[in-house]
Amino acid sequence: MSEHPFLGGPRDWWRQAVVYQMYPRSFADANADGIGDLRGIIAKVDYLASLSIDAVWLSPFYPSELADGGYDVADYRDVDPRIGTLAEFDELVEKLHARQIRLFVDIVPNHSSDQHVWFQEALKSPPGSRERARYIFRDGRGANGELPPSDLSSHFGPEGWTRTPDGQWYMHLFTKEQPDFDWSNREVHDEFLKTLKFWSDRGVDGFRIDVAHALVKQLEPLPTRSSYSLDVMKDDGTDSLFDRDEVHEIYKEWRQLFNQYDPPRVAVAEAWVHPHRRPAYATTDGLGQAFNFDLLTSAWDAEAFQSVIDANLDFANQTGSSTTWVMSNHDVIRHATRLVIPSDLGGVTFDAENHWYVNHRLDGDLDLEKGLARAKAATLLMLALPGSSYLYQGEELGLPDVTDIPSDQMQDPQWFRGEGKFKSRDGCRVPLPWKATGSSFGFGDGGSHLPQPTWYSKFAVEVQDGNPGSTLELYRAALALRKRLISGESLSWRSSESGTLWFEREGGWSCFTNFTDHQVSLPQGEVLLTTTEISGSKVPANSTVWLRLP
């Protein structure tokens, strides 16, 4: 692979990288079965290159019964036949690398699918067997073991234990099709090291680690839990289910493997932990980087953004890692919609967002034009920050979330098991519109596995491509410019009027955001890029401008 232009040379390529997350089933469908596939992605490598991204992260593409959108993995070292083959995977790696695009894959180590060979063996084996010891099987309570071993709910509904035909129960923090591994078992460690080596040997550059904070659990006494809100999670490394100090021993072992490669393989933790506990996942002897999801729960407000930025740059300094930024992913309401959910109806916290979704998603009264303006302004701000940015497929088109999918066409277990309390995540997983017309807007010739709304046509790649005012061209311009502008990792704030933020980066450029609904004065400097057209010396409402300083 040739030299990478980012600071520090190739070993540090990830520090300020832009990573584009792909939900493979919804990106592009080459064989017209309604499901996105590797061939579809391969056909779009030019498109990816046109975005000047540094890496692609593929959400799970492994064999799966899709109880949780692929996060129920039946075989960690293969490709789902509906998505492609290992040979196609190798071809994708090669084609991406040829365009200087690196590849992350998703590793789901907390739980497998119930279709995984290990779980199937466990079901066939007796209580106390070696096969059962890879998962968390226990006898039930009550006279005949008819009550679950402990009072444990799951993320997706009331039961965290499910009974097997022979009477024992197994633990699952997510759906019952996602049994949790027992990470006190050495065999589980070895199995995942084998998987990480398998993909690293195939040229994978990085790993996104799913629920990285849950692997190690205290099982005596058995854990109990009725809510998965962060408020009830202990913040000192002794919680029975999450973020236990011992989890880092696992990642140290992984790091030793990663460092056997040149450049070393990288990893980013999905760890929903108390913010001050996040740096531990990002140490150089651990995973190296951790997601910072704070912007997903920040109001569209200058002070809120500033405190999130300061806190996370500080965390990054504590570990020597770089910070990460995320505005959208496959689990949240797309930011072009989220940023105009009124805070009295929802918005900001996940609880409030769920509330809005459950009660107001069909009202159809959000100001989506403002949502798009805010989304573009937020993205341009994010892309000006030190650290790496994770983009989610379709945000470069300015797609709003599809919030009105009829319930009988939804797929997300969070919706079906959530007892009417949780949003469906399907709205951000609807297949992308590539063309303005056609049965699935160019996603493929065979329809789309989630329904696309008619308004998708106006967001199609074809419509935006080459159109200077489009969101797609704004992303392209911003990402290309970012590559040229970014050097060091420091940021210094400049004072600006209330409701705005202005910061400077090394090399004499700066980023100014107007969070308000009215225009404000444009700071001095040459305008390099702007999310809304500027006339005269005013920055329109809900806009970001990149400026070269005088």
Binding residues (CB under 6 A) for ligand GLC: these are: 68, 71, 108, 174, 210-211, 270, 330-331
Q: Pick one of ligand GLC, Ca ion, none as the site partner of residue 31 (Cβ within 5 to 8 A by kind).
A: Ca ion
- What SS3 class is residue 44? coil
Q: Pick one of ligand GLC, Ca ion, none as the site partner of residue 78 (Cβ within 5 to 8 A by kind).
A: none
Query: Does residue number 445 form part of the binding site for Ca ion (CB under 5 A)?
Result: no
Whose Cβ is closer to ligand GLC: residue 45's or residue 332's?
332
Query: Does residue number 91 form part of the binding site for Ca ion (CB under 5 A)?
Result: no
Whose Cβ is closer to ligand GLC: residue 53's or residue 107's?
107
Whose Cβ is closer to ligand GLC: residue 209's or residue 348's?
209
For 489, half-sphere exposure in the C-beta direction (CA atoms, 13 angstrom radius) is 21
Query: Could you tell me the sign of the dihedral formed by the alpha carbons of 195, 201, 203, 207, in that order?
Result: positive
- Rounded to the nearest whole angstrom, what is the least distance from the CB of residue 413 to ligand GLC in the complex? 8
Give the C-alpha separation, 293 to 149, whole Å.
Answer: 33
Give the C-alpha separation, 247 to 228, whole Å.
Answer: 19
Whose Cβ is closer to Ca ion: residue 35's or residue 41's?
35
Determine whether 144 is exposed, middle or buried from the number of CB atoms within 10 Å of its CB (0-12, 13-18, 19+): exposed
Query: Could you tell me the sign of the dihedral formed by the alpha carbons of 375, 376, 379, 380, in that order?
Result: negative
Residue type, 396: E
- Rounded to the nearest whole angstrom, what is the least distance from the CB of residue 70 to ligand GLC in the complex? 8
Give the C-alpha separation, 373 to 532, whole Å.
Answer: 8
Query: Does residue number 35 form part of the binding site for Ca ion (CB under 5 A)?
Result: yes
Query: Does residue number 31 form part of the binding site for Ca ion (CB under 5 A)?
Result: yes
Cis peptide bond upstream of 550, omega within 30: no
342 is written with which tokens? Answer: 């009124």
Whose Cβ is closer to Ca ion: residue 81's or residue 364's?
81
Q: Pick one of Ca ion, ligand GLC, none as the site partner of residue 297 (Cβ within 5 to 8 A by kind).
A: none
Alpha carbon dihedral 90, 91, 94, 95, in 10-degree steps, equals -150
Specify whether the CB–CB gap between 42 and 49 falls below 8 A.
no
Whose Cβ is closer to ligand GLC: residue 37's or residue 270's?
270
Q: Pick one of ligand GLC, Ca ion, none as the site partner of residue 331 (Cβ within 5 to 8 A by kind).
A: ligand GLC
Query: Does residue number 29 form part of the binding site for Ca ion (CB under 5 A)?
Result: yes
User: Which residue number is nearest to Ca ion in terms of Cβ?
Assistant: 37
Give the C-alpha separation, 139 to 141, whole Å.
Answer: 7
Q: Under 8 Å CB-to-CB from 106, ≥6 apart: which residues?
A: 57, 58, 59, 60, 71, 207, 208, 210
Whose Cβ is closer to ligand GLC: residue 37's or residue 210's?
210
- Rounded to the nearest whole angstrom, what is the least distance from the CB of residue 79 to Ca ion in the complex? 12
Query: Could you tell me the sign of the dihedral formed by the alpha carbons of 354, 355, 358, 362, in that order?
Result: negative
- Rounded to the nearest whole angstrom, what is the least distance from the CB of residue 440 to Ca ion in the complex? 11
- Rounded to the nearest whole angstrom, what is the least distance from the CB of residue 273 to ligand GLC in the complex? 13
Whose Cβ is closer to ligand GLC: residue 176's or residue 330's?
330
- What SS3 class is residue 514? strand
- Rounded to the nearest whole angstrom, what is the least distance from the CB of residue 270 to ligand GLC in the complex? 6
- Rounded to the nearest whole angstrom, what is the least distance from the CB of residue 470 to ligand GLC in the complex? 29
Q: Which stretch binds Ca ion (CB under 5 A): 28-36, 187-195, 448-456, 507-515?
A: 28-36
Query: Does residue number 80 form part of the binding site for Ca ion (CB under 5 A)?
Result: no
Size of the site for Ca ion (CB under 5 A): 5
Whose Cβ is closer to Ca ion: residue 58's or residue 383's?
58
CA distances from 228 to 72, 154, 155 (A): 20, 8, 6
Number of Cβ within a 10 Å radius of residue 516: 18
Residue closest to 160 by CA, chosen among 117, 203, 124, 111: 111
- Rounded to the nearest whole angstrom, what is the least distance from the CB of residue 3 to Ca ion in the complex? 36
Q: Pick one of ligand GLC, Ca ion, none as the site partner of residue 119 (Cβ within 5 to 8 A by kind).
A: none
Whose Cβ is closer to ligand GLC: residue 396's or residue 426's?
426
- Rounded to the nearest whole angstrom, what is the least distance from the CB of residue 210 to ligand GLC in the complex? 5
- Rounded to the nearest whole angstrom, what is the least distance from the CB of residue 331 to ligand GLC in the complex? 5
33 is written with which tokens? Answer: 């079965």
60 is written with which tokens? Answer: 């799970």
Number of Cβ within a 10 Å radius of residue 356: 24
Query: Does residue number 37 form part of the binding site for Ca ion (CB under 5 A)?
Result: yes
- Rounded to the nearest whole angstrom, what is the least distance from the CB of residue 60 to Ca ion in the complex? 16
Specify whether the CB–CB gap between 395 and 335 falls below 8 A.
yes
Whose Cβ is closer to Ca ion: residue 12's or residue 445's?
445
Give the C-alpha separation, 502 to 510, whole Å.
Answer: 7
Q: Pick one of Ca ion, ligand GLC, none as the site partner of residue 357 (Cβ within 5 to 8 A by kind).
A: none
In the complex, the residues that contact Ca ion under the rule CB under 5 A are 29, 31, 33, 35, 37
